[in-house]
Structure 1
């Protein structure tokens, strides 16, 4: 008979925490409790990838209408009704949160709508004042956007607030060069908002393949985003209903909203973690081993709170590995190698493996690229460019990286990712018969390297 209230207590009701809780309870028979202080579904469902992707869809229709006209359709886009869209968005997020709650209840997980803190290696304290004990504790609190401290920083909003603007602004400044900033620059521009993006560095999407970054940036500019590189905000000041932005070049501009997407921080503040011996890194992340175990043997952590690979499917995979390790007696280290991912910029970007720059620093490579206008867009007189790129090891011929900038690149990279993860060589790719006419056929028809390095 257990001396604990629960076999497992999960802190955080996001994708990773919910998956771990319901699998542990529903499939291994563990007694599981879960505490969530805000909304179930976490960043991804409530204030991240799901509402963002819906906004990406919404923002793409004006371009589709223009293309339809070029194909002979008599139609016009009219005006975008933000209130209509936002009402539907809120309803959808409520529906999804309800599903998460039902999944937990259906698996036998006891949920607590409260904030939880760590008291000791086996005890949590809820904001209701209750204390619960557990044989194992899983930290899955996720992360949050942070706005740097500078004069007027309280006037800025983050990606959390962008989904719930009272009305669509006439203009907006988005600060940052990562995927969140770049995605929202495309979204707001597509919705008809005059959009400016500041990034303090030389090029957006640092860490990704340089050729892909350059193409995405040039396409964003061509579509109407005012992308200003080597530029940052010096100060913000209230100017009536607007915000006066002074940038690091001394230029002053008025904007309706200023959104910062310059970094995120794990939700580890005031959790009692260090007091019980859990090690915390420089960015506030929980330090874990390959099995997601912290320095305290009974406490584990998954997802963005560990700041390993901050992607929803990764948090879910980490949650499944945790359950296998702790509740099935089958230790499963988390595999963070060769994770496919999509960036929903406009144009879309799908990527897996090494960039050309990373691969070149590692070993001699061959680079295969093709750059072209997609048939659908080209027929309509469009200028949008598509990039397909393979990075190949000269030594063993394995595909080290695949990068796609194209409509539906996210869909393509999921499938290409299977081959890359399996260790496909360039000759394996070449043996595949092309599907014609589709954009992705170019991946299997690149016979000669564009360059070596």
Structure 2
């Protein structure tokens, strides 16, 4: 059978674009891609890129205060949200154009419209056009989840946070994951009176307990009101804002309520189940180690599969798919030992096992140090850094590394390399410290603080 294209990609995010480019430019495939929104997907348009720029913006008040402590005659001014938002939109437009340029350079045909799967080898565009393909790749990402409570329509999600007409005076962030915690820090840093509700016992569930406790304590010390064991029963419009009626019996009024209570795979309405593609209980597309679904011609990568929902993971999955199917290089992406960073203030960087997960597997040693970093100590701030290594007691391999402090995301990227290579605690110990730095603590901790 002759197909219109060799590969049709549904979704123009990081994973879909990488797969399309590699298949076309390096695999010689005829590739088409459909994206119903802006090219670049969640990360570039409504996720990690604009969020990180907001993190940078929100950090300047403390930098200005530190500069004064170091002798600089500087005074904080007012933050111009409208000006920042315009600059942010310009940067996102630049990045979107770069993504489009990459696809055009690879010879990928782009359709700026919604596409659904009609059968195992055909997609239907919202324009009515039908395109046949030897292979179909689902890379539609995820979407914010808002629970069905009275007044839910009064809340915004992370999608809308970059386009607010003005900054609120009082904000409630609902959720305890990394998106909620990051936005709580951003809003607080921009001068917003910020409250965070989380129904669990501690924010940042799934991360190392000691590390997430360290982040939570620092956030609260900075002035963010974190209420754990608390959820919203309903939201009500009031003359002065939005009233949040909570499970702890309180009723508080805010100008903005942000729901960051997780994300769901964006698989609804694609026509997958009717073809025999299995979906999980949250709507995730079920795939094997090769990112292949139960229908051999249909694959899926990225957040829509709900494996590890990180942009670099989607990129690697998309690349592995293209290598396997179009370059004749069978490639499975290993989802183990993926480093990640949470851009709270302070930052959290982590790779490998938490202390709790490692202890469940066998005897371990825990090396940890907390201290006030030189830069902010001099400025009179009470910030504390955490450096932590989790070590297998028998093999001596470093099973996990957890860093809380300025630049944690940058440091954890480098720590991931030796840990991924199987470095032992003694390998770390043999490394000469770079002084004076925060990271030198990773190679100078000699005695475990806990064993078990």
What TM-score does the superposition give when structure 1 sets the normalisation length?
0.99
1:240 Cα offset (Å):
2.2
1:140 Cα offset (Å):
0.2
CA distance in 2, matches of 1:139, 1:348: 33
- SS of structure 1 residue aligned to 2:37: coil
- SS of structure 2 residue aligned to 1:16: helix
CA distance in 1, matches of 2:58, 2:288: 41
C-alpha deviations, 1:371-418, integer Å up to 9, x for none? 000000001111000000000001100000000001000000000000
Partner of 1:370: 369
Alignment of 1:163-182 (within 5 A): 163-182=162-181
C-alpha deviations, 1:87-142, integer Å up to 9, x for none? 00000001100000110001000000010000100000000000000000000000
Partner of 1:205: 204
Partner of 2:297: 298
- SS of structure 1 residue aligned to 2:163: coil
CA distance in 2, matches of 1:241, 1:210: 38
Partner of 1:32: 31
Distance 1:301 1:76, change over 3 A: same
1:334 Cα offset (Å):
1.5
Whether 2:189 is the aligned partner of 1:190: answer yes
1:364 Cα offset (Å):
0.3
C-alpha deviations, 1:54-95, integer Å up to 9, x for none? 000000000001111111111111110000100000000011
1:330 Cα offset (Å):
1.9
1:241 Cα offset (Å):
5.0
Partner of 2:449: 450
Partner of 1:425: 424
Alignment of 1:40-439 (within 5 A): 40-439=39-438
Asked if the contact 2:273/2:279 (under 8 Å) is kept, the reply is yes
Number of corresponding residues? 452
Deviates more, 1:310-319 or 1:233-242: 233-242
- SS of structure 1 residue aligned to 2:134: strand
1:28 Cα offset (Å):
1.4
**Aligned Cα root-mean-square deviation (Å):** 0.7
CA distance in 2, matches of 1:225, 1:76: 24
CA distance in 2, matches of 1:100, 1:303: 17
C-alpha deviations, 1:197-249, integer Å up to 9, x for none? 00011100001000001110000001110111111111100112510111112
C-alpha deviations, 1:138-177, integer Å up to 9, x for none? 0000000011001111111100011111001101000000
CA distance in 1, matches of 2:449, 2:162: 42
CA distance in 2, matches of 1:368, 1:64: 31
What TM-score does the superposition give when structure 2 sets the normalisation length?
0.99
1:184 Cα offset (Å):
0.3
- SS of structure 1 residue aligned to 2:413: helix
- SS of structure 2 residue aligned to 1:137: strand
